[in-house]
Structure 1
Amino acid sequence: MKELVSVLIPILNPQINPTEEKMLHHCLATLYKYPLIFITFEGADLSIIKEHNEEIDVIYFPKKYFRSRDHLASLFLLEDFYERFNWCDFLLVHELNSWVIKDELYYWCKQGYDYIKAAPVFQSGKQVNDDFLSRVTGLKEDEKRAFGQGYTDNGLYLCQIEHMTKTLKSKKKEAYQYRNNDLIHADSVFWDIEANRFWPYLRKPTAIVRQHFAQNAINFNGAKSLPFALTGISRANIQYAPYFKTLPEAD
């Protein structure tokens, strides 16, 4: 019988900084009920990671995918990547720039969505024509780049493995193009814009539902109804995120 969901933590640079270490510690504590797997490159020194959990499960991929976040995007656009995890129905990809507020992972897996991720946050002055027509006809190159920038440090998504694989098989040409360009956060742009052009391959939630799943930590206004998670967290901005100012120092 398949596992419902596994939590996947990518490690690009094993020398994680204190903010990433904080995210890691919280992830291990909050999502301990689920299979938790690290992905990195062969030969990576995971001694800092093992200080938090000695008995970690690690799956290795070619080092070329861990040179930067944009190289990792190419891995997330490969059929073979998702097929490596065919023992479970869902993957929660949890980069170390995200914080799960409350364990609602089972709930979100049962909501019938194939792909769910926090909405992008656009820089001041950036305009992206994100209406229905633009999603069918396709975004212009500068709009794609603005979309990609909007996903900076937005590293949390839940996906249904079988449907992600089927989408990539149906869009081989498009996925290849996204893997082989210089578009920042190409994976997020592909899954948000390209995956459902002309045909709804993936069941994706409305904007309001996305807000209940995850929100950018800097823009989160402290509403009474907390989302499942916050994302967009980095060493440079965590001190400005209102949510973390309310946490006990020990956390």
Structure 2
Amino acid sequence: MKELVSVIIPILNPEINPTEEKLLHHCLETLASFPLIFITYEGADLSIIKEHNENIDVVHFPQKYFKSRQHLSSLLLMEDFYDRFNWSEFLLVHELNSWIVKDELYYWCKQGYDYLKAGPVYNDVISAKNNSISRFLGMNEAEKTSFANGYENNGLYLCRIERMTKALKGKNREAHQYRHTENMPNADSVFWDIEANRFWPYLRKPTDIVRNHFALNAITLDNTETRNLPFALTGISRSNIQQLPYFKTLPEAE
């Protein structure tokens, strides 16, 4: 019988900073009832990670996928990546820029969706967010780049493995193009949000309202929203954690 969900924690640079270490410790504590698996390259020094849990499970992939977040994008657009975890029905990919607010992972796995991720945050005037024609016919390079930038530090998503591999098979040519696009950050997020369901709905995705109950980019929070937070926050970094209203309320973040 398959596991319902496994939590995947990518480690690009084993020398994680104090903020990432804080997020790691919280993840290991909050999601301890689920299988937690680290992915990194062969030979990576995980001594800092093992200070938090000596008996960690690690799955290795070629080192080229851990040179940067952009290289990791390519791995997250490969069937082989999802096939390696086919003992589970779902994967929660949890990068160390995200924080689980409350353990609702079982609940979200049972909601009937194939892909859930916090929405993008746009920082420039070019935005295809509301341009349904562009989304359907295909974005130009400027729109894709703008869309991709909106996913900066947006490192948490829940997905159904079977549907992700089916989408990659059905969109093999497009996935190959995204894996080999050198100038697009967060290519995986653009592919799953824009390309996967273009012309044919491979993935069941939530409405924006439901998606916001799953996860929000923390930089969009204000003090009133912290009273009714989603399952998870993302977009957390060393440069902003002390300014985020939610973390100001936590004693350990002082």
TM-score (norm 2): 0.96
- Per-residue CA shift, 1:200-251, capped at 9, x if unaligned? 0000000001110000111112423210000001111111111100001279
Contact 2:42 2:63 in 1 (8 A): yes
Q: How well do the aligned residues superpose, as a CA RMSD in angstroms? A: 1.2
Match of 2:111 in 1: 111
Shift of 1:128: 2.5
Q: Equivalences for 1:36-75 in 2 at 5 Å?
A: 36-75=36-75
| SS class of match (2:185) | coil
Match of 1:202 in 2: 203
| SS class of match (1:240) | coil
Where do 5+ consecutive residues of structure 2 fail to align? none
Contact 2:6 2:92 in 1 (8 A): yes
Match of 1:32 in 2: 32
- Per-residue CA shift, 1:49-91, capped at 9, x if unaligned? 0000000000000000000000000000000100100000000
Match of 1:234 in 2: 237
Query: In structure 1, what residue type is equivalent to 2:139?
Result: L
Query: In structure 2, what residue type is equivalent to 1:198?
Result: F
Which range moved further: 132-141 or 51-60? 132-141
**Partner Cα separation in structure 2 for residue 64 and residue 86 of structure 1:** 23
| SS class of match (1:204) | coil
Match of 1:148 in 2: 148
- Per-residue CA shift, 1:132-191, capped at 9, x if unaligned? 322210111101001111000000000000000000000110000000012110000000
Q: Equivalences for 1:212-227 in 2 at 5 Å?
A: 212-221=213-222, 222-223=224-225, 224-227=227-230
**Partner Cα separation in structure 2 for residue 213 and residue 188 of structure 1:** 16
Contact 2:127 2:147 in 1 (8 A): no
**Partner Cα separation in structure 1 for residue 149 and residue 119 of structure 2:** 12
**Partner Cα separation in structure 2 for residue 5 and residue 193 of structure 1:** 25
User: Runs of at least 4 residues of structure 1 off by over 6 A?
Assistant: none
Contact 2:114 2:204 in 1 (8 A): yes
Match of 2:131 in 1: 131
Distance 1:172-1:144 versus aligned 2 partners, 3 A rule: same
Contact 2:242 2:253 in 1 (8 A): no
**Partner Cα separation in structure 1 for residue 127 and residue 117 of structure 2:** 20
**Partner Cα separation in structure 2 for residue 158 and residue 132 of structure 1:** 24
Contact 1:118 1:213 in 2 (8 A): yes
Where do 5+ consecutive residues of structure 1 fail to align? none
The alignment status of 1:9 with 2:32, answered yes or no, reads: no
**Partner Cα separation in structure 1 for residue 253 and residue 213 of structure 2:** 27
Match of 2:188 in 1: 187
Aligned length: 251
Shift of 1:127: 2.6
Contact 2:128 2:135 in 1 (8 A): no
